[in-house]
Amino acid sequence: MERSHAIPTRHGGRALPRSLQWVALLLLCSAYLQGGLVKLFDFAGAVAEMQHFGMAPAAPLAAAVIALELGASAMILSGWRRWLGALALAAFTLAATFLALRFWSAPPDARFMMANAFFEHLGLVGAFLLVAWHDLNRRLNTGAET
């Protein structure tokens, strides 16, 4: 009997092969991996970014953001408490979106691009919520540890 490499579904429907699912998750996490690594290797720049947005204390917050972006991405990609990593990045992205992309108060020439970025980030929040929901649903249906 041939062994399937697809992730089983509850209703016997077709699912993405595991390798394709992992690539999709990598693409979803790519901005957070890139952002976390850039901040890690340019910590002064990460601190300056926190200060730019009025966040204090800047250095500990920059360190926390690095840990969150890299740690939650690793959780999602490894499958260890994937739901928790996805919820963490969803909450972080939602907060950062409302902090950094306030298009409604931007100068008119910046509004269009900021509004686009704002709604793209909301799409990322939705994607992370779906990842969390699917992971929790799979774990509850298979009895796996959550």
Q: What are the structural domain ranges in the chain?
A: 20-140
* pTM score of the predicted model: 0.87
**Statement: residue 9 has pLDDT above 70:** no
Residue 9: name the closest of 119, 145, 107, 134 by CA. 134
**Statement: residue 15 has pLDDT above 90:** no
**Statement: residue 2 has pLDDT above 50:** no
**DSSP line for the chain:** -PPP-BPP-TTS----BHHHHHHHHHHHHHHHHHHHHHHHHTHHHHHHHHHHTT-SSHHHHHHHHHHHHHHHHHHHHH-TTHHHHHHHHHHHHHHHHHHH--GGGS-HHHHHHHHHHHHHHHHHHHHHHHHHHHHHHHHHHHT---
Q: Give pLDDT tens digits for 37-63.
A: 999 999 999 999 999 999 999 999 999
